[in-house]
Structure 1
Amino acid sequence: MKELSKELPEGSLDEAGPDDIYAQIRGTAKHGQAEMYGLGVRVSDVWGKVSSHDALCKENVKLNAELQQYKEHEKQKNDMTDNTVVNPHASTNNGIITNTPLQVGKEIHLKSINNPTLIVTKGRLRSLDPLTVVGEIKIGPGWGEVHVQVAIKGDETVIRPFELVITMIEATGVAIAWQTSLLSVVPLD
């Protein structure tokens, strides 16, 4: 420890942290524990967010979802160039197109625009007509009008906010516009 202390820049101190001299000598803490801070105290409790196995796993899931979405997009693009008709109202489930088409009146899940594997709310599909007006704007092609019934992730932002409807919790009981590629039919149990 004395040798490492001598290598510090002049006038600087070895502040306690996940990479301090003590941590360099003892190695990685077991199970994310912050040693010498008491039982049950974790590194993230003392020094904030520190990369962990859980964080890396979450990042991996997110990147896999993005990769799956990219592959789906490329497949659809290739299918269109092969003159194959792709159902624009096909439902998606974790980035994979299913054969359950979207139908007006059906219960559906709305997926997050940031993470298409995450269901943010449950609602009922009211319209797929591009001329339907939601929030004083026509929804347009590739969009559906959805009556939000239950906000599963209430802090998720509405794709097209209007008036006082900005988050899913505020959209509960209201019709909003949502991209059809982010809608999936609620499976029957």
Structure 2
Amino acid sequence: MQSQPLNASDFEVIENTLLKYGDDHSVLNPSELDGYFTALVSSPTRVDIADWFPAIWGGQNPAWQTPQEAKQFIELSVRHINTLARQLAEDSVAFAPRFEQTEHLGQDVTLAEEWCFGYTRAVAICNWPALPAPQAILLQAIADCAEQDNFELPEDLDVVAHQQAVAAIAPAARALHDFWLSQR
């Protein structure tokens, strides 16, 4: 069970749990959590659950209503982390960030801001050391996307340029994972 990828109902449980126990300082949705976990499994060093789990909640674990609720969220999280680690290490082509989708002026638009914010959150938790210039540029592309405030897309959004920037995120995450993997 720990090795099975999450399905739609599993992600719904995650989303409901994040909404139930989250606040302005916590991870707020499955997209952000996916980015967070991607950076965790890409990190140059292993980070203990005692460090990364409370960071999901802004630094403190929630006051769970039941132990089963906590257990279920932890198990789903570990399954997703394992899936991401396996994909990135064994079949990075299968890796696809969990970006959000929206419609803007009649066009489908992929939003990566929340995913990128989760990724940069984990980079900070993992305390990544300075990167060589090529990898630093990749991380900066992710960080720049995380800093965008696109809760409401501007009417004059250049959709093509936006989608090109978003399309660069997954290859950047793969390359950063491969870089750190080669350094371990």
Q: Give the TM-score normalised by structure 2.
A: 0.23
Q: Which has the higher strand share?
A: 1
Q: Give the TM-score normalised by structure 1.
A: 0.22
Q: Which has the higher helix share?
A: 2
Higher relative contact order (CA 8 A, sep 6+): 2
